[in-house]
Chain A
Amino acid sequence: MENSEKTELVLLACGSFNPITNMHLRLFELAKDYMNGTVIKGIISPVGDAYKKKGLISAHHRVFMAQLATKNSEWVEVDTWESLQKEWVETAKVLRHHQEKLEASSCGNEQGSPVLERPGRKRKWAEQRQDFSQKKSLEPKTKGVPKVKLLCGADLLESFGVPNLWKSEDITQIVRDYGLICITRAGNDAQKFIYESDVLWKYQNNIHLVNEWITNDISSTKIRQALRRGQSIRYLVPDLVQEYIEKHDLYTSESEERNVGVILAPLQRNMAEANS
């Protein structure tokens, strides 16, 4: 396939981002390098409060921190749609929402200037698209609509195996219709996991495993733990995020107790549907 016909990609990362860390941001950079010039946009979609995960603080903080973190990024931005929904939204639906959004703006707009969340970024993305369409002025539909792919770490991939956490038809839809870009440090474990799952094996060409050579253990859980223990999180999260957390004293023993005793939304929903 020639370079001129490569599909443009949009990377979507779903998760709690509780808080966002440098590791999350690195996922985007690693994936972009790996996909070799086809990635045009990155989207961070923090989960809604209705997810009911233990220790999950209010979405507006998590969204704001993600926005602070991506302030200096030219291509990664935060999308609030998922976090604004009243009920928890399955990841497959979030993927579908963003894919449909791309298709809608691609059809209705020859100039290729889709509605973006952040007006300040709008011009840059539109310029990029215009560059591409100028290059392809003789061939109107060469690139087509950009495709959304789910960006994740190996933990998400392996969470497919947790009973009732995912609907099997959702997993199929995700790997068949969208695709995964999975950043992992233990490539062998991820490969083994794919091998041992029929559906992942079937769509393995749509699952890209990207190696992270730096042992990077910056999980949000550890960040919250460090904060409770009065330890510094500087250089593990962007400076603006660290300042915001400190200013609002966001993560404490109390905040970690949120949703204790509450069933995680996907588990609740999938088990209820199984029993109905």
Chain B
Amino acid sequence: MSLGSCQSHGNDKGEQILPYKCCNGGMYQVIAGIISPVNDKYGKKDLVAARHRVAMARLALQTSDWIRVDPWESEQVQWLETVKVLRHHHRELLRSLPQKEGLDRGKAHPAAPTAVPELKLLCGADVLKTFQTPNLWKDAHIQEIVEKFGLVCVGRAGHDAERYILGLPILQKYQHNIHLAREPVQNEISATYIRRALSQGQSVKYLLPDAVIAYIKDHNLYTKDSSWKDNNT
């Protein structure tokens, strides 16, 4: 399966990528990871320009052989609901499959019963909670996400993913399609913390890849007075 991650990605922090490899229920084999930074029109506070967020994600993933950034969502004219992004990437996934029957013979693994990869939404438990927020998600979209695609949800301190699932009937109904990835090592690097540290001139070395730190410095992002400036360029 392919894991798509739709997040605002204020800046790319190492631990976001960690959980991809945790999901190994035995039935699935993860073949690719996609990071899809949100469109600027999302309007979240402190969101720097998409071109920066995409560039930083690219730098962070330079050394990854299976996760990539996809700027499609950020390049759209307006903000897109997550389900639309999932639909897009799923279409792309289907389009990229070999036209002939069966899998590529070059692959080491034997052909699976279903050759079509599945696309799942990767998120933290905090996102799961937001399904409860009134008017944030359309009900039909939540249903499509959990029914047609599926979730891989990584634990986060202070969030009880299982409780969130039980708290929403639609999630409960499709809980077989919601995989809770146990994070063996808790590492709570939030982008909010990173931005605050940067604005106070504190070091974020070893929290972000060096290449991303250099980029932030070169483009003067996340300084005390840059947040409004950058959104206006």
Binding site for B on A (CB under 8 A): 22, 25-26, 29-30, 32-33, 72-73, 213-219, 222-223, 225-226, 229, 231-232, 234-236, 238-239
Contacts and interface: CB of A to CB of B under 8 A. Distances in A.
A236 B185 contact: yes
Interface residues of B, number: 24
A22 B206 contact: yes
Given A213-B193, A214-B189, A225 B203 contact: no
B17 interface: yes
Nearest to A27: B206
B202 interface: yes
Interface in B182-217: 184-190, 193, 202-207, 210
Nearest to B157: A215
A30 to B, nearest CB: 8
A164 to B, nearest CB: 31
B189 A236 contact: no
Given A232-B18, A235-B14, A217 B202 contact: no
Given A235-B18, A236-B14, 5 more contacts: A29-B203, A214-B207, A226-B185, A232-B20, A236-B185
Given A33-B202, A231-B21, A232-B18, A226 B184 contact: yes
Nearest to A231: B184
Interface of B: 14-15, 17-18, 20-22, 63, 157, 184-190, 193, 202-207, 210
Contacts of A26: 205-207
Contacts of A219: 185
Q: Is the interface of B mostly helix, strand, loop or mixed?
A: loop
22 contacts: A32-B203, A33-B202, A72-B210, A73-B205, A214-B187, A214-B190, A215-B157, A216-B187, A216-B189, A217-B185, A217-B187, A218-B187, A219-B185, A225-B184, A226-B184, A231-B21, A232-B18, A232-B22, A234-B18, A234-B21, A235-B14, A238-B206
Instruction: Give the most central of A32, A73, A231: most B CB within 10 Å.
Output: A231
A232 B182 CA distance: 12
A234 B185 contact: no
B207 to A, nearest CB: 7
Contacts of A25: 205-206
Contacts of B187: 214-218, 236
Given A231-B22, A236-B18, A239-B63, A214 B203 contact: no
Nearest to A239: B63
Nearest to B202: A33
Contacts of A222: 184-185
